[in-house]
Amino acid sequence: MDRFNVLFIASECAPFAKTGGLGDVAGVLPKYIKKYGHDIKVVIPRYWIIDKDKYNLEKLIPPLGVPMGIAGEWWCGVYKGYLPDSDVEIYFIDHEGFYGRKDLYNYEDGTGYIDNDNRFMFLSKAALQLSKMLGFKPDIIHINDWHTAMVPHMLKTYYKKDSHFSNVSTVLTIHNMQYQGVFYSGVMDVLGSWEYYFDYEFKGQVNFLKGGMYLSDMVTTVSEGYAREIQTPEFGYGLEGVARDISYKLEGILNGVDYDEWNPEVDKFIPANYSENDLSGKMICKESLQRKFGLPVRDVPLFGVVSRLVHQKGIDILAEAIYRILSLDIQFVLVGNGDPWAHFFFGKIAHENPEKFGCYIGYDNALAHLVEAGADFFVMPSRFEPCGLNQMYSLRYGTPPVVHAVGGLNDTVENFNEATGDGTGFKFFGLNAHNLFNTIGWATYTYYNLKDKLLRLRQNGMQKRFTWDDAATKYLKVYKRAKNKF
């Protein structure tokens, strides 16, 4: 088997700094790459929220010089640590001016920092300089989303004749096509070369993700379905033509689940553990969830949502359908935060329907585990879902998901067959309030009238596994394709 030196560059990494799925992947995938005998080093910014003492970070000497094109040479510090419970080295680029801020990407009003272009060009160039300082000659540079998508350009221009990067190959993973990194064209001066400008050009501006897609040796997304979807106008956000152009080097690889944490047999956050062979503990969890939200302890189907309350997650569709949904003999709990209107709207619904609807605005990890275990069904009406994790958690907890059949949701959930009892959840096609209501109605009917089939449905889901071993094996095949140039 080929052995690779992998430089893994990302804008976030759990548990140090995380806003979404990219952070989860960066915190887990490198451990599995290392497990299979490869050397991998992770590089992220040292954001203000990352406590150097908490994670026992070691400061490297000397400081790192970073050439930034027309802007000259800038300097930064570097800290070294390890991914938790592993020997995978992670390096933090320390620049107070760029990363000493409250949030990773945005001002308090949600708009992106005005210098995000320079912040992440700096991260990308600093990671390359760091690999030279460490004497770590990479075979593969694995970059993630627009924040590091300019690395292939740097390799083809500034570092073109640098022997340290001879024969290096690049793999770009797109975790969310909606975010592309579009800036004024003058950023090419900071990149250090206008060569390949037309690979980046997008309506007179520079689109970092577009350039990365064209210039990387391989491109992946986080599910097979999403790899197909980004080639369409509905999901491509203006880059669907680019995705079609590079389809020959585009692959979808589903993220894995951390079954050490998300496992009802050992979950420390729930009042009773249970397994597919003995689901009695799930009823205890359901009663605990009902009491947690002040709902009557009744034998009715309990639907749960744990989500960011934003447009992507279809929260507006849930809002449109919720009054009809609550006309059914059911209960519903919602945990999440996001758009302010959703906070007020669902808070009002809970006030008006105290016996049927419970709401917690915010995120609480223990409560998220209790919802997965205590709910009878888990609802995910996402407009798009590159991979999704909650539906996979729900399957493991015997909580059949109700999902809009897109991206990773469609890939991981098998539609219920009433005649045979096959399947793992309930899917609807076409995102609107009518379809969402009808599918929740279908799940409600199943709860009241098809008890035996529902038990089988729960057990079917609990037997499914979406592991990081599988994902890492597929990434290693992508690395090999990148080295062989397909």
| 201 half-sphere exposure, CB direction, 13 A CA radius | 7
Asked if the model's pLDDT at residue 262 lies above 70, the reply is yes
pLDDT at 1: 59
The stretch 277-294 carries a mean pLDDT of: 98
Does residue 370 register a pLDDT over 80? yes
- Is domain 279-463 in CATH 3.40.50.2000, yes or no? yes
Taking only the tens place, the pLDDT of each residue in 46-77 is 999 999 999 999 999 999 999 999 999 999 99
The per-residue pLDDT for 486 is: 63
Domain boundaries defined on the chain: 5-256+468-484, 279-463
pLDDT at 387 over 80: yes
Binding residues are: 18
- What is the DSSP secondary structure assignment for residue 302, as one 8-state letter? E
pLDDT of amino acid 170:
98
Residue showing tokens 């950023």? 187
82-132 pLDDT, tens digit per residue, is 999 999 999 999 999 999 998 999 988 778 999 999 999 999 999 999 999
Q: In terms of DSSP H, where are the helices of 338-467?
A: 340-352, 365-374, 390-396, 407-412, 433-449, 451-462
Binding residues for ADP-alpha-D-glucose: 18
Average pLDDT over residues 318-328: 98
Radius of gyration, CA atoms only, the chain: 23
**DSSP assignment of 96-148:** HHHH-SSSSSB-TTSPBPTTHHHHHHHHHHHHHHHHHHHT---SEEEEETGGG
The pairs formed by 293-299 with CB atoms below 8 angstroms and a separation of 24 or more are 293/333, 293/358, 293/359, 293/360, 294/354, 294/358, 295/331, 295/333, 295/354, 295/355, 295/356, 295/358, 296/355, 298/331
5-256+468-484 classified as CATH 3.40.50.2000 = yes
Cβ-Cβ contacts under 8 Å for 125 (sequence gap 6 or more)? 66, 67, 68, 154, 158
pLDDT per residue as tens digits for the range 400-448? 999 999 999 999 999 999 999 999 999 999 999 999 999 999 999 999 9
Position 108 scores a pLDDT of: 80
pLDDT for residue 258 is more than 70: yes
Tokens in use for 288? 């605990």
Q: How confident is the model at residue 485 (pLDDT cuts 50, 70, 90)?
A: confident
Q: What is the mean pLDDT of the chain?
A: 96
* Of 395, 389, 402, 403, nearest in space to 446 by CA: 402
- The pLDDT tens digits for 143-187 are 999 999 999 999 999 999 999 999 999 999 999 999 999 999 999
Identical fold between 5-256+468-484 and 279-463:
yes
pLDDT band with cut points at 50, 70 and 90 for residue 229: very high
CA distance 472 to 88: 15
In the predicted model, what is the mean pLDDT of residues 371-384? Answer: 98
Residue matched to tokens 């879902």: 385
Give me the sign of the Cα torsion angle 135, 54, 21, 470.
Answer: positive
**SS3 for 207?**
strand
Residues 216 and 248: their CA atoms lie apart, in Å, by 12
The span from the CA of 242 to the CA of 237, in Å, is: 11
Tell me the C-alpha distance between 1 and 219, whole Å: 22
Q: What is the SS3 assignment for 38-62?
A: CEEEEEEECCCCCCCCCCCCEEEEE
